[in-house]
Amino acid sequence: MTYELDHPEIREAVAKLCERFPGSYWRECDRAQAYPTNFVQALTEAGYLSALIPEEYGGLGLPLSAGCAILEEVHRAGCNAAACHAQMYTMGTLLRHGSPSQKAQYLPQIADGSLRLQAFGVTEPTSGTDTGALRTTARLEGDTYIVNGQKIWTSRAEHSDLMILLCRTTPRDETAKKTDGLSVLLVDMREVRGKSLTIRPIRAMMNHSSTELFFDDMPVPAANLIGEEGKGFRYILSGMNAERILIASECIGDAKWFLSKASAYASERHIFDRPIGQNQGVQFPLAKAYSEMRAAELMLREAVRLYESGANPGEEANLAKMLCADASWAAGEACLQTHGGFGFAEEYDVERKYREARLYQVAPISTNLILSYIAEHVLGMPRSY
């Protein structure tokens, strides 16, 4: 790419680290649906996963744009940060809403990687996108919450010590709004795993370490309530802009990987005695995908700029997530097509990245819900759900 990017030293260092984890490493993990432990360890040791934790808690204290640069470069190099990106941002709920003693207790160990906080339990099988309809309950008994219910798609639960869990503490029929009465608990899974907490891995289209969780009278100390009881939904919402922006950065990294892989292949592959990339039918989808990537990237930069200026860029963060996910998907499609049959062969890594890129049309928020947000909150139309 020919234009200047922010945080060049960080980008260069991340790209160098990623060279140690080539396609063959990811293919092996993918085949076995294995956790990329060595890669996560390397990112942890380099301090990148603590980028957003303030220095007073032992983190690097860097702005969101640095987190974006790290994740973009990971994906641009053909790696996948999904195994650990949540270690970078899930702590935001604790940082913004936790008590001083909770922060002092957990953040330094999250920063040095000795504690993993990368599980985020919101989605349930019967509520899905409709978070207010979740059914997992936490009942206060003395100084302990007793949790019962189920979560689904809780990624990385097997590779996390702590989990941010959203559950209902006030019955739905006693609250004015369905998003009231929900609370956030910081669950120390080490104490309950295999007892009142059962974790079942879900084999999925790509290697994502996602799981189903079952809570059977799971005890959580009341001291692990984050913020005030009943206000959990807003605490979760308050972290959404950063999450959307960081995921959008991964999508931009993926788009760049697809485009550079495809352009190189199109120039090398000779059919009918000339490079396939000499044909406009091959060039144009790639040029179009590049232009879509650049436009999406500009929206992403705008979202980051507003976020770092202290604004609440709900519109821009949502648009960035949607446009960047669309751009990476378009680039993936053009890349696969450029590779013809070889695009389907594992050893080219295109099919793996293609499967991985597809997720961001659905998670952490689906495109439809972003469009609903824009329709309602930006264009002023009635709420559709």
Ligand X SMILES: Cc1cc2nc3c(=O)[nH]c(=O)nc-3n(C[C@H](O)[C@H](O)[C@H](O)COP(=O)(O)OP(=O)(O)OC[C@H]3O[C@@H](n4cnc5c(N)ncnc54)[C@H](O)[C@@H]3O)c2cc1C
* Options 153-161, 297-305, 309-317, 339-347: segment touching ligand X (CB under 6 A): 153-161
> From CA 88, how far away is CA 71, in angstroms rounded?
10
Q: Is 243 in the active site?
A: yes
Contacts of 173 (CB under 8 A, 6+ apart): none
Q: Can you tell me which of 366, 373, 374, 376 binds ligand X, judged by CB under 6 A?
A: 366
Q: Which is nearer to ligand X, 126 or 312 (CB)?
A: 126
Q: Can you tell me which of 44, 136, 160, 210 binds ligand X, judged by CB under 6 A?
A: 210
Q: Which is nearer to ligand X, 153 or 258 (CB)?
A: 153
Q: Which is nearer to ligand X, 89 or 265 (CB)?
A: 89
Q: Can you tell me which of 295, 369, 374, 375 binds ligand X, judged by CB under 6 A?
A: 369
> From CA 309, how far away is CA 323, in angstroms rounded?
22
Q: For residue 153, state whether it binds ligand X (rule: CB under 6 A).
A: yes
Q: At closest approach, how far in Å is the CB of 90 from ligand X? A: 9
In this structure, what DSSP letter does residue 186 have? E
Q: For residue 372, state whether it binds ligand X (rule: CB under 6 A).
A: yes
Other C-beta atoms within 10 Å of 342: how many?
A: 14
Site for ligand X in 112-131 (CB under 6 A): 120-123, 128-129
Q: Which is nearer to ligand X, 38 or 129 (CB)?
A: 129
Q: At closest approach, how far in Å is the CB of 210 from ligand X? A: 5
Q: For residue 375, state whether it binds ligand X (rule: CB under 6 A).
A: no
Q: At closest approach, how far in Å is the CB of 202 from ligand X? A: 8
Q: For residue 137, state whether it binds ligand X (rule: CB under 6 A).
A: no
Q: Can you tell me which of 65, 93, 155, 241 binds ligand X, judged by CB under 6 A?
A: 155
Other C-beta atoms within 10 Å of 75: how many?
A: 27
> From CA 304, how far away is CA 78, in angstroms rounded?
23
Q: Can you tell me which of 103, 168, 208, 301 binds ligand X, judged by CB under 6 A?
A: 208
Token pair for residue 269? 């592959």
Largest CA distance in the chain: 79
Q: Which entry of 72, 73, 229, 243 is annotated as an active-site residue?
A: 243
Contacts of 88 (CB under 8 A, 6+ apart): 48, 49, 50, 51, 52, 67, 70, 71, 246
Residue 230 near residue 216, CB atoms below 8 Å: no
Residue 283 near residue 103, CB atoms below 8 Å: no
- Beta-strand ranges (E) seen in the chain are 117-121, 137-141, 144-155, 162-168, 182-188, 197-201, 210-221, 225-226, 270-271, 274-275
Q: At closest approach, how far in Å is the CB of 319 from ligand X? A: 16
Beta bridge partners of 211: 154, 201
Q: Can you tell me which of 363, 373, 374, 375 binds ligand X, judged by CB under 6 A?
A: 363
Of 296, 336, 341, residue with least CA distance to 319: 296
Q: Is the dihedral of CA 227, 104, 87, 74 positive or negative?
A: positive
Site for ligand X in 303-362 (CB under 6 A): 359, 362
Q: Can you tell me which of 92, 239, 314, 364 binds ligand X, judged by CB under 6 A?
A: 364
Q: For residue 93, state whether it binds ligand X (rule: CB under 6 A).
A: no
Q: Which is nearer to ligand X, 65 or 118 (CB)?
A: 118
* Options 7-15, 57-65, 152-160, 234-242: segment touching ligand X (CB under 6 A): 152-160
Q: 47 to each of 17, 74, 116, how far by Cα in Å?
A: 12, 14, 13
Q: Which is nearer to ligand X, 253 or 364 (CB)?
A: 364
* Options 147-155, 217-225, 259-267, 289-297: segment touching ligand X (CB under 6 A): 147-155
Of 188, 146, 151, residue with least CA distance to 166: 151
Q: 101 to each of 86, 121, 160, 171, 224, how far by Cα in Å?
A: 22, 23, 21, 29, 10
* Options 37-45, 251-259, 284-292, 363-371: segment touching ligand X (CB under 6 A): 363-371
Enzyme catalytic residues = 243
Using CB under 6 A as the criterion, which residues of the chain lie in contact with ligand X when the complex forms?
A: 120-123, 128-129, 153-155, 204, 208, 210, 359, 362-366, 368-369, 372, 384-385
